[in-house]
A and B are shown apart, each in its own frame.
Chain A
Amino acid sequence: MLEIKGLTKKYNKLTAIDNVNLKVESATISILLGPNGAGKSTMMKCITGVLRYEGDIHVCGYNNKSSDARRRLGYTPEVPALYDLLTPMEHMEFIAKAYDIKDWEPKAEALLERFDLDTHKKKVGNELSKGMSQKVSICCSLLIDAEVILFDEPMIGLDPAAIRELKTVFAELRDQGKAVFISTHIIDSVQELWDRAFIMHNGKVERTINSGDIDNSELENIFFKVTGDSGQDTLS
């Protein structure tokens, strides 16, 4: 579903991602863990194709920079960026048109209702709080019905109700056969949800763990073993 081979990303002399290979399968929830500066967000941006890099990234067999791949890839960025003058529903309409999605309205309305945005439907981008902007951003990435969906630190700024709802969404997406790939530094937030975890440190994927191989509570200990002291400032 999502396949990364030999991914290397350099910023001048700094190697942010160093020869990473990984696979995110359909009907799974994969998490990307790592301390601050490990290269998680950089990897997410490389997958979306907005950064230059060395290596190959394929989404459902298509090169990630092709239109075919883009139609199959959803993305919630770390920092939500909305259009100042558009309401949540207008954001959804724009995305529907940009991705040429038919009969989008019932789904858009359901998503907005699900994330409690229907009560703020008259507000425009610059009137929404950070949390609400994040919810709009999530709804936009869910609207396109992508096969692979990336979430970069999706819980940041969300209220507890929205976090709970988002966790349910993750599970539903997995049940629908989608590949969900979540970058986070809050292990608790994805506890008991994940199928596969990739632990990044200094730009490398140091460890890949399948949920069936360990007990859930062990993940945190493994994380610290891999990342050492630098992981201390990362966990919730």
Chain B
Amino acid sequence: MNAILYLIWRSLVGIVRNFKKKKGQLVLVVFLVVIFGVMIVGNNQVDDLAQWIPTDYLTTAYATIVLIVAALTIDNGIKKGSSSYRMADVQFVFPSPISPKLILIYGFLKQFAISILVVLWFVFQSFNIRNIFGLTAQGFSVFLLVTFIVVMYMPVVSMWLYSITLRKQGAKRIMQRIFLGLGAVLAIAIVTLTIIKGDPIEAAQIFLGGSYFQYIPILGWLVTLLNAAKLGFDTWTWISLALLVAGFVLILWRLLSSEIPFYEEVLKQTVRKEKQIAAKKGGMSNMNLNSKKARKATITYKGTGPKALFYRQLLEYKKAGFLLFDRVTVILLVLGVVGGYVLKNTGLPISIALYAAIYLNFIFAFSGKWVKEMNNPFIYIMPGTALAKLWYATAANHLKHLVDGTAIFVPIAILTKLDPVVTLGFILAYAAIGAIYIYADVLSRRVFGKLHKGNIANIFKMLCILFVLSPALVGYIIITSMFPDVILIQWLAPLGIVAYSTVINLLIMLFGKKIFVDVELI
């Protein structure tokens, strides 16, 4: 144990030392701690919340998300296991004489730290989540507890299922079929209910909110515990919490007592994880790391010089998916349909859709192809002006935002009978604000250099973007609420956001244009 404790201790010391060396990072951490403090204090003092969506939707939405995440984690877990180790662990800890059980515990300790970080991320979202579902401060604490349990459970369950399937030949396939069958039953039930009720949201609510659901191990207990966020604790809540803790301990115990030959399996997952971390540090999304073989595709270059960057990126999009239609677009399309039904059922103002989409774009915006250009020397050494390189390296991303904006707003427009001109304005506003995210990212890399990398700088960047965006968004609210019945105003207001964003984009481009000139600035 000494070696593991030493490793953990020295890693912590290393973090502190790093702050000593990189004072800029320390400043960012202090800044975030202050914001975090404000969030905690503010959360306890603010109880008069807007509640955009009925609290009942919380359980349904959360259960749906947990189901999807669980399905993906379990599927991946059965196939490859799970890992919270780094390559250095694989290189130094695994071949050492340290007991495999201790190594496993070390992995769980690391997972514990990750779970805490996930919970902290949700604390930053506290006002949004509380506002959307009208949760009290205590209710939100329950939400955080459930999230923590979910994040702790997923890798342990994955590893446990994986260890079971390792023992018998063919068990992996049987296990996958069982889960596939369960998924199919669930899907058929929700689709049938949707046909009967004519509304997928109501169908999901009936199915996932049913009282029998609490008897389903882990998922049912989680939902029961989450119900306490709105209804307070009762006997069933305590029983569910106790069952969740007992279940976790039991699975952990089973895992520790099993003989998993996990070196090779963990290695696969760790290599993948390293790629994810590298992608994240580079400011990219890791959503496309799962991508299978590249499709056959061709493109005709209709230009030379920096324009070649644009066509090459289009070729990559074609190879990875269907033109600019990829996994993110599908997710946004589904969210557009769900959002359309929520707006239709609740009668919420349509502007909520715009804000929600802009917020979602926050999450997906920093995954553009332009970020990858920085990892390759070609763009720096090729002929062309700095501004042309920046424009053509990001142009495909603007098209992608238009496609994604269409995926969100067209279903919403159909379901809520939104005016076509307003819909078009929303799509353009989505793309224009998406461009702000891109160029703010460019500028952030120019200004902060290597400091830019990492979660802390990302959060700081997001706060700055919110600050820049707020005049346009506030202006939009004021104008559209002052003249709710003047259709011309409703048409022009989204275009106002587009105009404002274009000016901001041009300014940021001018300041950040040298990003592809000097490799030291990133």
Residues of A within 8 A of B (CB): 45, 48-52, 65, 67-68, 70-71, 73, 75, 77, 81-86, 90, 93-95, 97-100, 124, 140
Contact = CB atoms under 8 A, between A and B. Distances in A.
A94 to B, nearest CB: 5
Contacts of B315: 85-86, 90
A50 B308 contact: no
B316 interface: yes
10 contacts: A48-B377, A48-B380, A50-B518, A52-B520, A85-B319, A93-B301, A97-B303, A98-B384, A100-B305, A140-B378
A65 B305 contact: no
B234 to A, nearest CB: 52
Contacts of A83: 312, 316, 372, 376
B383 A99 contact: yes
A49 B376 CA distance: 14
B382 interface: yes
B520 A51 contact: yes
A71 B375 CA distance: 21
A85 B320 contact: yes
Contact of B377 (A50, A67, A90, A100): A50
A97 B377 contact: no
Given A45-B519, A94-B312, A70 B382 contact: yes
A85 B304 contact: no
Contacts of A49: 380-381, 517
A86 B312 contact: yes
Given A83-B376, A97-B304, A75 B381 contact: yes
B162 interface: no
Nearest to A102: B304
A93 B303 CA distance: 12
Contacts of A84: 294, 316, 372
Contacts of A50: 377, 380-381, 518-520
B306 A98 contact: yes
Nearest to B385: A67
A86 B316 CA distance: 7
A51 B518 contact: yes
Contacts of B375: 81
Given A50-B381, A52-B520, A98-B309, 9 more contacts: A51-B520, A67-B385, A68-B383, A84-B294, A85-B320, A94-B312, A97-B305, A98-B304, A99-B304
Contacts of B384: 67, 98
Contact of B305 (A51, A75, A98, A140): A98
Interface in B225-255: none
Contacts of B311: 97
Chain B CB within 10 A, most for which of A84, A95, A124: A84
Contacts of B301: 93, 97
A124 B377 contact: no
A92 to B, nearest CB: 12
> Which A-B residue pairs are the 4 nearest by beta carbons?
A97-B308, A67-B383, A100-B304, A50-B519
A81 to B, nearest CB: 5
Given A52-B518, A52-B520, A97-B304, A70 B312 contact: no
A49 B518 CA distance: 7
B178 to A, nearest CB: 33
B381 A48 contact: yes
Contacts of B316: 83-86
Interface in B370-398: 372, 375-378, 380-385
Given A85-B320, A94-B308, A99 B382 contact: yes
A98 B378 contact: yes
Contacts of A140: 378
Most buried by B among A45, A52, A81, A100: A100
Contacts of A73: 381
Contacts of A95: 378
A209 B61 CA distance: 73
A215 to B, nearest CB: 37
Nearest to A47: B381
Contacts of B372: 83-84
Which of A71, A81, A95, A98 has the largest count of B CB atoms less than 10 A from its CB? A98
Interface in B313-350: 315-316, 319-320
Contact of B381 (A68, A70, A86): A70
B381 A85 contact: no
A95 B372 CA distance: 16
Contacts of A100: 304-305, 383
Contacts of A85: 294, 315-316, 319-320
Contacts of B319: 85, 124
A65 B384 CA distance: 10
A193 to B, nearest CB: 25
Nearest to B298: A90
Contacts of B383: 67-68, 70-71, 98-100
Contacts of B320: 85
A49 to B, nearest CB: 7
A156 B517 CA distance: 27
Contacts of A65: 517
Nearest to A78: B377
Interface string B379-419: 01111110000000000000000000000000000000000
Interface in B55-87: none
Contacts of B382: 70, 98-99
Nearest to B318: A85
A98 B380 CA distance: 11
A37 B384 CA distance: 32
Contacts of B294: 84-85, 124
B304 A75 contact: no
Nearest to A93: B301
Contacts of B385: 67
B519 A51 contact: yes
A86 B298 CA distance: 10
B368 to A, nearest CB: 15
A10 to B, nearest CB: 11
B176 to A, nearest CB: 26
A49 B379 CA distance: 12
A97 B301 CA distance: 7
Contacts of A90: 312, 315
